[in-house]
Amino acid sequence: MKKLYVMMITALTMGTVFTACSSGTGRSEEKPVPNIAVLLTEGFHDAEAYMPMGYLVNKGFDVTVIGPEKGLVKAYNSEFTIVVERDMDELVTDDFDVLVIPGGQAPAALREDPAVVAFVRAFFETGKPVAAICHGPQVLITAGVMEGMTSSGYSGIREELESAGATYMDQALVTDKNLITSRVPADLAVFSRAIGETLEDWK
């Protein structure tokens, strides 16, 4: 528990940096850096959202929170919140270079939204990096893109992944083509680093 607590404090500190730095308006013409979309809604896991966001902002990348509707949404496991900056009605896949899907209870809601599922499917099919942790791969399952893929994820969704045609691996980090997956908050360091490494050529 102590280790997780320290991780949470670090993640929330990074979240403060995110709030100060993210423009939320897509890729800037003046600063052609990659833009990472973080897809979530009510019930997201706080560390699984804040930790990658903070890490990527500190690396100099733009981060935009997207979801079914704009506005404030709350984590299921704490009192922390995030503002969804852009909704599905105003998004196209060309707006972003990487898609990140945190876990928690949010993926179960996201996969019920046809617009979200269509966007995720279209983004995945571009071949650009998609990163999902914990329950995040559930959205990819509903999008119908997991057949033939190798994936990690929360152990509780292993059967669902395999039923969708994926090969499940109980590992902290699994990469396959454009897919990056991890299991639980303890994997966040390697998960975040792997996302950053896909963007190294942008420097």
Residue showing tokens 């102590």 = 2
Rounded distance between C-alpha atoms, residue 33 and residue 30, angstroms = 9
Q: At what angle do helices 188-197 and 46-58 cross, to 10 degrees?
A: 40
- Can 135 be counted among the known catalytic residues? yes
Partners of 101 in beta bridges: 132
Of 103, 59, 30, whose CA–CA distance to 202 is shortest?
59
From 135, 136, 182, 196, active-site residue = 135
- CB-based burial of residue 169 (10 Å sphere; 0-12 exposed, 13-18 middle, 19+ buried)? middle
User: What are residue 73's DSSP bridge partners?
Assistant: 82
Residue 49 neighbours by CB distance under 10 Å = 28
131 with 191: CB under 8 angstroms?
yes
DSSP state of 30: S
The helix (H) or strand (E) run that includes residue 117 is helix 114-125
Which residues are known catalytic residues? 135
